[in-house]
Amino acid sequence: MPEIIVKYDDKVVERFVTEKKRISVGRTNDNDIVLENRGVSRKHALIEFNDNAAVVIDNESLNGTFVNNRKVTEELLRQNDSITIGKYTLIFKTEQDADPDDPSGFDGTMVLNTKKHRDMVANDQLERQIVSRYGCSVLLGMENAPFEEVELEREVTTIGKAKFVHVPARGFWMSGIQAKIVREDNTYFLVNLGKPGKTMANGEPVDRHELKNGDLITVGKSTFKFLQGH
């Protein structure tokens, strides 16, 4: 059964397990997951499940629905995806799927104007522009990165300290080819090829990790952000 973990300020406030095919998320009591906060619309979003997939559908909400910090109208969910609604984060557990449906209408939901929300909206737009400029997924240089943006159009992109890799990383204690990013259709995997513990996704050492939009990849001392293309 799929589980939705509801967080507020990084604190788990509710664990929601369901056998339903469709659950609604919103401010009023007739929703399956009730989020009592003014930044949440009355009928904010739907999550639909079928055999092995899940989809979140924004219900034309005022403040929007974000999946892994990207604003979405409808988005396929994967394990551990984070859905941001108002000040809440919903973490999706186990894979499921479905199709859209709607009610709507303005319902007195307040416009969220917190700094965090503004930053998230602005950042999301910026990252979308970058991705659409390249027409594919992109690595953004973050800490200690020797570049700003690298496109991930190849099937295999190598990362390391060797001169011939596609993506150079900084740091001495790592292998020449420390890691690779493998593309399979539009799904990307980060694979460790070198010293154990020197290839990390979101701060955790990994051997093979399916990349999600916004994941932070650290190789040696360099950190990159993975932006999923369409």
Partner 1 sequence: MRIAMISDIHGNLEALTAVLSQIEQQEVDTIYCLGDVIGYGADPATCLDLVDKHCDLVLMGNHEYAVIGYLSTESYNDSAKISVKWTQAALSDRHIQLIKGFPFDHAKDDLYFVHASPNNPGRWHYILDTKQAAVAFEHLKQRLCFCGHSHVPAIFAESPGGPPREKVGHDFVPNEDTRYIINIGSTGQPRDYDPRACFVTFDTDTSDVVYTRVEYDIATAQRKMLDAGLPGFLSERLAVGR
Binding site for partner 1 (CB under 8 A): 6, 8-9, 11-14, 27-29, 34, 36-38, 87
Q: Which is nearer to partner 1, 38 or 78 (CB)?
A: 38
Q: Which is nearer to partner 1, 8 or 134 (CB)?
A: 8
Taking the complex as a whole, how short is the minimal distance between the CB of residue 5 and partner 1, in angstroms? 11
Q: Which is nearer to partner 1, 86 or 160 (CB)?
A: 86
Report d(CA 131, CA 126) in Å as an integer. 9
Q: Give the number of other Cβ atoms within 10 Å of residue 185's Cβ.
A: 5
Q: Over the range 20-38, which residues count as b (16 or more CB within 10 Å of their CB) and which as e?
A: eebbbbbbeeebebbbeee
Do 77 and 92 touch, CB atoms closer than 8 A? Answer: yes
Do 67 and 80 touch, CB atoms closer than 8 A? Answer: no
Q: Which is nearer to partner 1, 15 or 133 (CB)?
A: 15
Taking the complex as a whole, how short is the minimal distance between the CB of residue 178 and partner 1, in angstroms? 38
Q: Which is nearer to partner 1, 11 or 115 (CB)?
A: 11
Report d(CA 215, CA 140) in Å as an integer. 10
Q: Over the range 153-176, which residues count as b (16 or more CB within 10 Å of their CB) and which as e?
A: eeeebbbbbeeebbbbbeeeebbe
